[in-house]
Structure 1
Amino acid sequence: MLRVPRSNFVFLRGKTTRASSGEDYQYLQRTRIPMLHFQPSLPRLPIPALEKTCERYLAAQKPLLIDEAFRKTNDNVDRFMTTTGPKLQELLKQKDSQNKHTSYISEPWFDMYLRDRVPLPINYNPLLMMNPDPRPEYNNQLVRTTNLVISSLRFMNSLRAQLLEPEVFHLNPAKSDTDRFRTITSLTPSIISTYVAYAFKAFPLDMSQYQGLFGATRIPETDKDRIYRTEKSKHVLVIRNGNMYSVDVMDETGNIEQPATLLARFKHVLEDNRPPNETPLSLLTTENRDTWAEIRYHLHENGNEKALLDVDSALFCICLDNSKIDPDQPIPMIRDFLLGDGTNRWFDKSFSLIVAKDGTAGVNFEHSWGDGVAVLRYFQEIYKETTNAPFVHPELEPKDANASGDVVKLIEFKLDSKIRDGIIAAQNHHNAIIDSLDMNYIKYNGINKNICKQKKISPDSVMQLGFQLAFYKQHGQFVATYESCSTAAFRHGRTETMRPCTSATKEFCEAIERKQNPHSMNDLRQMMDKCSTIHGQLTKEAAMGQGFDRHLFGLRHTAQLNDIPLPCIFEDPAYAAINRNILSTSTLSSPALLAGGFGPVVKDGYGIGYNIQDGFLGCVITSYKPERNGSDFVECLRSAYDDIANVLNSSKPSGK
């Protein structure tokens, strides 16, 4: 819980709320360790040994290929190792040594995101849905919106003033998330501070992405987009019923406006009787990026420069929706927050804070500028503050000294027939995607984090084994599988791919599905423990920058930069196949998180956002109709977890 001096609380009609006077109101945190204290000593993302990358690549290909195809892939890897591979490795290392301020993957990874022309919703923008406030009266749409905005601005001010606590992963929080750790590391010179933190088994994380959170927008341009950023803005973008508003949230001196003032301004938007916008420009952010770039240029050249700047420069976007969640059937709301109908979103903003009619809240974010680490930190901090120590109480009276028209302004665009036709086309395209996207959810009570701990097995390996077994039950085969792993422990690290489909998982799935099963429960448990051990090793390697995907990506990019013909390893159909991730998976763990979701990365794939908690495990699964049958996959997944639970409950760990 956020520590706030007792003097920061006042009492209102028997309720406790927070005072908003003085400098304390402006900042969410005042860190003892300077925010960027660890940044200079963060290790650089390593370039793995070429031999190790080739070994790991072949190990990942083994369960996916028949013997003949694997032999060909093995031959291609051998040729690569003895011909072009060493030269590309040397060129990659040379470039890396000339850019010590960053990582070898950062520039080409940004470039990959910004060059892709597919629409952002589903293909890139993920969703984090927030748990409700435990006090029902605080889930009022106006109250929750205002509280979330205030905490967001306090987070932003702390970030910009470098008063946020550094992001640190504590392996054992009881021993390292302490005053002693903060005192010692803050007194240590920055150039060695990370290594002092390691002595506490605490791992500082890169914070370079945080600058992309506020005042930022991805601007569509032909062939390659760009990211616009500013720190001069005082307003947020609010979208309601497809109408866009610029709402001032900072005063002329750059301070956060008072809670009663902000309450009044958002109340003004919510009470605006303007009809739903019949030609909502926001639909264009659902389009192919080149299509949107062409229309945006036309918009800009036809008297909309100021309106576009109001949108692009906004600190962030707030989407005020009219929907309500059904706790027994959350999928419609999760689906709406992930892609909606496109009329009440601006998918290009760095992030959008969505608040529904019943106060259900979530964050939809653009992915090119950063990954889940920065967004989850922001998400957790605003949830924690708004549920523990909010500034707006349900009985607070709105009060704004300014005329609403001066501080809450409708953003109006001049539309001609070309723009209107573009909006209609975008709506048709987006509706077709909406109709084709299937979303399913599973909540399984038979396995949870506590059970895995009791059974001495990795919870994440159990979750991933379930996905492999479910797909095998459904299709009788094994496919390329992606699990996202952060490399934020390195300077400008992004992500690495962890490959959960292994020879061990294949062996287990085939054994448990064999009709005449010769394997005892203890045999199956030994196989499962082997899966968990290998899974843990692969996860560790990925987190330490020792996966193979990013390295091969970097080598391929190096060949293209230097006009070197692509080596046979990259022309091999097996390379294309392993990069068509049929199962794309990602997990985030947080007490603030109700659910997370994202789209499949290929048309015939599944997008699986999953979480395992103390009492249950859960997954949100997306797929495209008719390429995949999502509801059938969920039934296979339930059956898979039944099988896994049966093994766990009927056997002992290996060696016991």
Structure 2
Amino acid sequence: MMRSGNGYLIHAGSQARRVLMLQNTIPMCSSQYERMFNTSRIPGIETDTVQHVSDSRHIVVYHRGRYFKVGMFYDGRLLLPREIEQQMERILADSSEPQPGEETLAALTAGDRVPWACARNAYLRHGVNRRSLDAVEKAAFCVTLDETEQRFDEENPVESLDHYAKSLLHGKCYDRWFDKSINLIIFKNGTMGLNAEHSWADAPIVGHLWEYVLSMDPVNLGYTEEGHCNGEPHPNLPGPQRLQWNIPSECQTMIGNSLSVAEALANDVDSHIIPFSDFGKGLIKRCRISPDAFIQIALQLAHYRDKGKFCLTYEASMTRLFREGRTETVRSCTMETCAFVHAMSSDNTTKEKLDLLKRAAEKHQEMYRLAMTGNGIDRHLFCLYVVSKYLGQDSPFLKEVLSEPWRLSTSQTPLQQRELFDLVKHPEYVTSGGGFGPVADDGYGVAYVIVGEDLINFHISSKLSSPETDSHRFGNNIRQAMLDILGLFQLDKKDPK
């Protein structure tokens, strides 16, 4: 493979093909984009499956415990924004009550998978329930018109962002259909967000979509002075179709059990967002260090200060160079990084610390390149695990290397379409990025997005039940670690050079 102009040339024998470039980056395999809509995760007893239908002409909207099927086409065309608003207004004006079991039905998608599979097969695959379930599972995506209000509050930034994040992550545990590829959540005050199921694709796909939405809605589509979408309502547009359910008491009991499981999980999530604005990518680049390496090393320093020890660390790397490529793991807790972290709490000179930092950053970049090009280790280990299960052979080696949990799981959500946003003129278009829960009971989940030149947003999650973790404490450690590392360079922040 070699770089050529604005693309890459992939050599296969005597042939060479130019690969499409997006913002000087190889895009994701199109198979992930194909599954963005019309896709649902279907529960099974042995394993789940991902169901994708080739075409869907409707969405499903949840509001006040009721489900509505809303057609997105009329007269052979896609509905215009004002016509979609017209349909939402009809749903908001509908005063009907939920049917028995309907309001909390989606809790089945939030609890354990086997009970959900059993309830689906026993009670939801016949008659009116089957037709309504098909409408949900074959919808392009789901929309929740949420009755709560969420927004960033400048007078209470920490608590407001934390509540916003938790609402998008799990809501009430029954007001998002968690098996859908995408749930668009619109709060009562007009704030929006997404909840995405993870098996069909990775975060950059969802981020790519959301960047487009965030720029298209206010800039290209716009609103009238009265707050309506531009355009006129349609005089003959058929209204939304209320989905019908006949959920027996036995199924309602299973729904209640799943809701209890989901609420226990959700109530245990300690979610915290840090808008880190002390400095950003612009100043880090002046240090001649990769911004991602800088942040990952800061996370290691913060974790060591937080817990007094190192841990197995997961950083997601995209495998864009491969057909149907998803992710590989960068094990970013390296010996070089540990040496730097130890030096930060010793009497090493600044020059010695800087030398160790640069070695750690170079090692991180090397690990990242290996992961991107198929030379990581974790997907190979997973293949060996699958083969061992297929052959019915136990492997002491695999038991050893796969048994340690990822107590620090991290991921960067890249801002991919920077040309869509002028954050200097319109700072209100800034995205807080996305987040996820911890993958270990005593660990942290950290997602971050580098926004423009001067802002990095961190999403931190952990479990309240763990005596070892505290998301707000870890957030303070991240902030201080970032400042301490930058301080080694003794830069003048006002000097642009």
Same fold (TM > 0.5): yes
Query: Matches of 1:473 and 1:204 in 2, distance apart?
Result: 37
1:598 is aligned to 436
User: Which residues of 2 match residues 463-474 of structure 1 at below 5 A?
Assistant: 463-474=295-306
1:126 is aligned to none
Q: Which moved more, 1:330-339 or 1:318-327?
A: 318-327
1:391 offset after TM fit, Å? 6.5
1:399 is aligned to 233
User: Which residues of 2 match residues 133-144 of structure 1 at below 5 A?
Assistant: none
* SS of aligned partner of 2:61: strand
Query: Matches of 2:273 and 2:99 in 1, distance apart?
Result: 32
2:353 is aligned to 524
Residue of structure 1 aligned with 2:119, choices 295, 303, 306: 295
| Cα distance change on mapping 1:205 and 1:225 into 2, 3 Å | closer
User: Which residues of 2 match residues 243-282 of structure 1 at below 5 A?
Assistant: 243-251=66-74, 253=76, 255-275=77-97, 279=101, 280=103, 281-282=105-106
Letter in 1 for 2:151: I
Aligned residues of 2:152 and 2:161 also touching (Cα < 8 A): yes
2:182 is aligned to 351
Letter in 1 for 2:403: A
Q: Confirm or deny that 1:363 pairs with 2:198.
A: no
User: Which residues of 2 match residues 154-303 of structure 1 at below 5 A?
Assistant: 176=6, 192-194=16-18, 203=26, 205-251=28-74, 253=76, 255-275=77-97, 279=101, 280=103, 281-303=105-127
Note the aligned Cα RMSD (angstroms).
2.7
* SS of aligned partner of 2:189: coil
* SS of aligned partner of 1:440: strand
User: Which residues of 2 match residues 569-608 of structure 1 at below 5 A?
Assistant: 569-572=397-400, 574-577=401-404, 580-590=405-415, 593-608=431-446
Based on CA coordinates, which of the two structures has the bigger radius of gyration? 1
Residue of structure 2 aligned with 1:306, choices 128, 131, 134: 131
* SS of aligned partner of 1:597: coil
Query: Matches of 1:478 and 1:450 in 2, distance apart?
Result: 29
* SS of aligned partner of 1:593: coil
User: Which residues of 2 match residues 474-485 of structure 1 at below 5 A?
Assistant: 474-485=306-317
1:319 offset after TM fit, Å? 1.2
Aligned residues of 1:234 and 1:251 also touching (Cα < 8 A): no
1:320 is aligned to 145
1:610 offset after TM fit, Å? 1.0
Q: Confirm or deny that 1:642 pairs with 2:483.
A: yes
1:368 offset after TM fit, Å? 1.2
Query: Matches of 1:526 and 1:262 in 2, distance apart?
Result: 58
1:466 offset after TM fit, Å? 1.5
Letter in 1 for 2:16: I
Aligned residues of 2:293 and 2:365 also touching (Cα < 8 A): yes
1:547 offset after TM fit, Å? 0.6
Q: Deviations over 1:90-133 (max 9, x none)?
A: xxxxxxxxxxxxxxxxxxxxxxxxxxxxxxxxxxxxxxxxxxxx
Letter in 1 for 2:201: G
Aligned residues of 1:207 and 1:374 also touching (Cα < 8 A): no
Aligned residues of 1:222 and 1:290 also touching (Cα < 8 A): yes
2:422 is aligned to none
Aligned residues of 2:165 and 2:272 also touching (Cα < 8 A): no
Query: Matches of 1:471 and 1:603 in 2, distance apart?
Result: 16
| Cα distance change on mapping 1:397 and 1:382 into 2, 3 Å | closer
Query: Matches of 1:437 and 1:231 in 2, distance apart?
Result: 36
Query: Matches of 2:98 and 2:342 in 1, distance apart?
Result: 55
User: Which residues of 2 match residues 94-173 of structure 1 at below 5 A?
Assistant: none
Q: Deviations over 1:610-632 (max 9, x none)?
A: 12331132211110112122222
Letter in 2 for 1:378: L
Residue of structure 1 aligned with 2:271, choices 418, 431, 439: 439
Query: Matches of 1:633 and 1:385 in 2, distance apart?
Result: 36
Q: Deviations over 1:61-115 (max 9, x none)?
A: xxxxxxxxxxxxxxxxxxxxxxxxxxxxxxxxxxxxxxxxxxxxxxxxxxxxxxx
Identity score, percent:
27
2:257 is aligned to 425
| Cα distance change on mapping 1:212 and 1:205 into 2, 3 Å | closer
1:204 offset after TM fit, Å? 5.3
* SS of aligned partner of 1:318: strand
Query: Matches of 1:278 and 1:343 in 2, distance apart?
Result: 14
Query: Matches of 1:218 and 1:586 in 2, distance apart?
Result: 23
Q: Confirm or deny that 1:621 pairs with 2:460.
A: yes
Query: Matches of 2:74 and 2:491 in 1, distance apart?
Result: 64
* SS of aligned partner of 2:336: helix
- TM-score for the superposition, normalised by structure 1: 0.66
Write 1 or 2 for the structure with the bigger share of helix.
Answer: 1
1:418 offset after TM fit, Å? 0.9
| Cα distance change on mapping 1:259 and 1:571 into 2, 3 Å | closer
1:431 offset after TM fit, Å? 1.8
2:287 is aligned to 455
Letter in 1 for 2:355: Q
Q: Deviations over 1:292-329 (max 9, x none)?
A: 11111122245311111111111111111122213323
Q: Which runs of 5+ in 1 are unaligned?
A: 1-42, 44-170, 186-190, 652-656
Q: Confirm or deny that 1:551 pairs with 2:380.
A: yes
Letter in 2 for 1:523: E
Aligned residues of 2:410 and 2:446 also touching (Cα < 8 A): yes
| Cα distance change on mapping 1:499 and 1:433 into 2, 3 Å | same
Q: Confirm or deny that 1:372 pairs with 2:203.
A: yes
Q: Deviations over 1:581-622 (max 9, x none)?
A: 100111112256322110011111111111233113221111
* SS of aligned partner of 2:17: helix
Aligned residues of 1:264 and 1:398 also touching (Cα < 8 A): no
| Cα distance change on mapping 1:229 and 1:222 into 2, 3 Å | same
Query: Matches of 2:25 and 2:161 in 1, distance apart?
Result: 37
Q: Confirm or deny that 1:413 pairs with 2:262.
A: no
Q: Which runs of 5+ in 2 are unaligned?
A: 10-14, 419-429, 493-497
Query: Matches of 2:243 and 2:307 in 1, distance apart?
Result: 51
Query: Matches of 2:121 and 2:271 in 1, distance apart?
Result: 35
Aligned residues of 2:319 and 2:327 also touching (Cα < 8 A): yes
2:167 is aligned to 336
Letter in 2 for 1:305: R
Residue of structure 1 aligned with 2:371, choices 520, 542, 552: 542
Q: Which moved more, 1:479-488 or 1:624-633?
A: 624-633
Aligned residues of 1:194 and 1:203 also touching (Cα < 8 A): no
* SS of aligned partner of 2:343: helix
* SS of aligned partner of 2:69: strand
Letter in 2 for 1:635: N
Aligned residues of 2:150 and 2:191 also touching (Cα < 8 A): yes
